[in-house]
């Protein structure tokens, strides 16, 4: 009986060790990608100072609910406390997921709006009315609600021109290099290091992380 108990304990210890080894193997297999550097920046979709110590690239999909949460809960405070103060350079990257029917169309409209200097209001209206236009598919009407008739005419012309997809695909290809598999994914660049993170972060979490990054020597 005693031998039986000892054997059970050994088996338990072996099981725990096996689990820890398996978890380590999974983590090693998913090692961080190489840093390709921050390239191909559309100045209309980037905010803050290029010389900021931290660069944040946000790979986002206008139809993804988590991207909306990130935008509405974190973006404003990030812009006020880190981007405007020159600590963070924020870049918006398009990563429309194929599972969302209208996300590419929305990305086209946002890019077209960026080209006429109206990215911010269009980004805001697309995220704030996400539930509406994803039901109806009326991206055009949603964007038109924040632009003047003349601006909307320019945006429509750019969307119809068919040249925007190449830029969207370029962002998506960059996302592939960072192994982006879900949205939102935020890639932080600081002091030659790259830190990609998938998922939604609260402002408090982000603040703590950015302060640590900024305090690194």
By residue count, the chain amounts to 217
Q: How far is CA 193 from the centre of its chain?
A: 18
Q: How far is CA 93 from the centre of its chain?
A: 7
String of DSSP letters for 120-148: HHHHHHHHHTHHHHHHH--HHHHHHTTS-
Q: How far is CA 128 from the centre of its chain?
A: 17
32 binds another protein (CB under 8 A): yes
Minimum gap (Å) between residue 213 Cβ and another protein:
8
Contact between 52 and 81 (Cβ < 8 Å)? no
Nearest to 108 by CA among 94, 92, 121, 120: 94
Segment contacting another protein by CB under 8 A, of 14-22, 50-58, 103-111, 147-155: 14-22
7 binds another protein (CB under 8 A): no
Segment contacting another protein by CB under 8 A, of 15-23, 80-88, 111-119, 149-157: 15-23
101 binds another protein (CB under 8 A): no
Site for another protein, residues 143 to 202, rule: CB under 8 A: 181-182, 195, 197-202
Site for another protein, residues 57 to 86, rule: CB under 8 A: 65-66, 69
Residues near another protein, by CB under 8 A: 1, 4, 8, 11-12, 15-16, 19, 22-23, 26-27, 30-32, 65-66, 69, 99, 181-182, 195, 197-202, 205, 208-209, 212
């Amino acid at each position: 009986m005693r031998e039986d108990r000892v054997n059970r304990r050994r088996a338990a210890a072996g099981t725990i060790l096996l689990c820890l080894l398996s978890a380590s193997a999974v983590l090693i297999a998913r090692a961080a990608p190489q840093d390709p550097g921050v390239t191909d920046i559309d100045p209309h979709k980037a905010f803050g100072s290029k010389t900021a110590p931290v660069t944040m690239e946000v790979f986002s999909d206008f139809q993804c609910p988590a991207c909306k949460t990130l935008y509405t809960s974190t973006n404003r405070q990030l812009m006020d406390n880190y981007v405007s103060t020159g600590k963070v350079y924020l870049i918006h990257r398009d990563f429309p997921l194929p599972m969302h029917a209208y996300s590419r169309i929305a990305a086209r409209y946002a890019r077209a709006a960026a080209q006429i200097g109206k990215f911010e209001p269009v980004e805001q209206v697309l995220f704030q009315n996400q539930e509406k236009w994803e039901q109806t598919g009326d991206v055009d009407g949603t964007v038109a609600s924040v632009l003047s008739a003349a601006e909307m005419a320019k945006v429509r012309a750019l969307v119809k021109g068919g040249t925007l997809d190449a830029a969207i695909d370029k962002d998506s290809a960059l996302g592939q290099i960072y192994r982006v598999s879900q949205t939102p994914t935020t890639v932080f660049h600081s002091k030659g290091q790259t830190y990609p993170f998938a998922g939604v972060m609260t402002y408090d979490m982000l603040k703590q992380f950015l302060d640590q990054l900024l305090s690194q020597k």
